[in-house]
Structure formats: structure tokens, C-alpha cells
């Protein structure tokens, strides 16, 4: 009888496996090209999930994800979340060449054309070196404005040594406001980053934020210049950071609650809103060994 070749993606079901497109995952081969091909194939064929099995995927250049198609996309790995991110004990790891702008850049063929679609990422170790100086500056960077990517969900991942781990920058959108929307950053670990989450470029660069249940061990402050809508920053471990959380925006309503702070300097929390109808609830936060730290609102 005839035999049919079985591919990884056939085994996984309704998702694409990057190994089927030539990715190697040995930490040496330039996997950005086959992974880019897998993403383009997914969009062209209505497939919503890209699977990164155990391996060390190295990017010589950023992978640009053009969010033109009217469909969501998800990245799924095998890595457990946690502080020990540098070992070879298995799991999905993505790293890249020195000084590249980002591992993944979310963009559009025409940035002035409004429209963006959902993104989800889970169970991946994102690794840079020396705060981006000797590795990628950013892991995930969105340049999309207008009708934004929504929801934008990152969960159960680990980020190490980035200048800015997750970024929304709408400075190139020709005045379109609103970048990432319905941003859910939950149950992740950030280690030795300058910024865990950063937003810039205009009002609403990040709109409606839930940053909760994360561990940030010298892992990077939250800085958003242009936050809008609602926000919830709660139940996080935020340790060893300078100017821990800085939020600037227009109309904002939010909560900053039940966060654990230790050995933080500067502003534990600094909030500035131009709309006088804004509000924030601050309660039940734990503060230890944060000499001279301040809260400014």
C-alpha cells in the first residue's frame, strides 16, 4: 500500500509547525526566514496558530508580521514560565542578533489604513542580552494604529535582558490614535529588562490594560506615554526597579492594587491625566525596603 508522509503540523492539527517550513531551532541557523514564511502561509490559508516546538530559534533579523488579513494569529510554544530562562532543559526559546530593533514587529502594508486583528502569545522564552545592547532591543513591537490589534494577549511567557520587552509605538501612523487595545499581560516573568511594557507615539498607544499576576524581578518598569481607557495593574511582584510604574494619558480609569514592592527606587507609581474626570483606586499594596520611593498622582 502507499505511504503518506506525515508532517509536524499534521500531527498538531489545525495549526502550523515552524519546523515544516525549515526552521531548525538549534540556536545557530537563521530561523527568521522560515518562520516568516510560516506566518505568511497561515494568513494566506486562514490558519490561526503558529506552533514553536521545543528549540532555540535564532533571528538574524526581525520578523515583520503584516496584520493585513482579517484574522487573528497566535504564537504557541512549549516553555514553562519561570525565572530560570537561560538553560537548555527544554522548552521554546527565541533570541536574536545584537542590536536588532525587535524579534517580531507588527505592522501593516499601509500604516495609515486603520485596522488590526487579534494576537495571542503563550509559553515562549524571549531572550536578549545586556538590556538589548548585545541582543534584540525588544521582543514584541507593534507599530499599528487606528483600529488596533485587539485583543493583544501575552501570557505564561518569560522575557529576559531586553531594553523594552513589549512595545506599542504609533509614532509612524500619520496621526492615527490608538495602538494596542484590550492589552492583557498576565502570568509572565520579566527578568533584567529596562522596561517590561512601554507605550509611546500618541494618545491611546495602549488602550484598556490588564497587567496582572506577573513576576518582575529587576524585570523592567511599566511606562506608558499615552494610556487611555481603563487599566488594572494588580497582584504583581515588582522588585528591584527604578520608577516602577509611570502612566500618562487623557481620560483614564484604573486600579493599582495588591502589588508587592521590594527594593524599588524613585516613583513606585506616577500617574498624570489631562482629563479631570479620570480616576484611580490605589489599595492594599505591599512595600518593603523601598527607601525614598514615592507615589505621585
Supply the pLDDT for residue 6: 41
Rounded Cα distance between 267 and 272, Å, is 13
DSSP letter (8 states) at residue 168:
E
Q: How many whole angstroms from its chain centre is CA 242?
A: 20
Check whether 83 has a pLDDT greater than 70: no
The pLDDT confidence band at residue 174, using thresholds 50, 70 and 90, is: confident
Q: Where are the domains of the chain?
A: 23-235
Buried-exposed string 198-227: b where 16+ CB fall within 10 A, e elsewhere = bbbbbbbbbbbbbbbebbbbebbbbbbbbb
Q: What pTM was computed for the model?
A: 0.92
Check whether 12 has a pLDDT greater than 70: no
Amino acid at each position: 500500500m502507499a505511504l503518506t508522509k506525515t508532517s509536524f503540523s499534521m500531527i498538531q492539527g489545525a495549526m502550523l509547525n515552524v519546523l515544516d517550513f525549515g526552521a531548525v531551532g538549534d540556536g545557530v541557523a537563521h530561523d527568521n526566514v522560515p518562520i516568516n514564511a510560516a506566518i505568511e502561509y497561515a494568513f494566506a490559508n486562514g490558519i490561526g496558530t503558529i506552533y514553536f516546538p521545543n528549540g532555540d530559534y535564532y533571528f538574524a533579523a526581525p520578523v515583520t508580521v503584516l496584520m493585513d488579513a482579517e484574522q487573528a494569529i497566535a504564537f504557541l510554544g512549549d516553555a514553562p514560565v519561570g525565572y530560570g530562562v537561560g538553560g537548555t532543559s527544554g522548552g521554546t526559546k527565541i533570541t536574536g542578533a545584537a542590536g536588532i530593533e525587535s524579534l517580531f514587529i507588527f505592522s501593516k502594508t499601509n500604516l495609515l489604513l486603520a485596522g488590526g486583528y487579534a494576537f495571542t502569545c503563550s509559553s515562549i522564552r524571549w531572550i536578549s542580552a545586556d538590556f538589548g545592547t548585545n541582543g534584540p532591543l525588544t521582543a514584541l513591537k507593534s507599530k499599528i494604529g487606528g483600529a488596533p490589534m485587539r485583543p493583544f494577549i501575552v501570557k505564561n511567557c518569560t522575557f529576559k535582558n531586553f531594553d523594552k520587552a513589549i512595545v506599542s509605538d504609533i509614532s509612524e501612523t500619520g496621526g492615527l490614535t490608538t495602538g494596542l487595545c484590550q492589552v492583557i499581560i498576565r502570568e509572565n516573568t520579566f527578568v533584567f529588562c529596562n522596561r517590561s511594557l512601554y507605550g509611546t507615539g500618541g494618545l491611546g498607544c495602549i488602550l484598556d490594560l490588564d497587567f496582572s499576576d506577573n513576576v518582575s524581578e529587576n524585570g523592567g518598569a511599566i511606562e506608558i506615554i499615552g494610556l487611555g481607557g481603563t487599566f488594572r495593574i494588580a497582584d504583581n511582584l515588582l522588585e528591584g526597579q527604578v520608577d516602577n510604574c509611570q502612566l500618562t494619558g487623557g481620560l483614564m480609569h484604573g486600579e493599582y492594587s495588591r502589588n508587592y514592592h521590594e527594593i524599588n527606587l524613585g516613583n513606585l507609581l506616577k500617574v498624570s491625566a489631562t482629563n479631570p474626570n479620570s480616576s484611580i483606586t490605589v489599595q492594599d499594596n505591599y512595600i518593603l525596603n523601598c527607601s525614598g520611593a514615592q507615589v505621585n498622582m
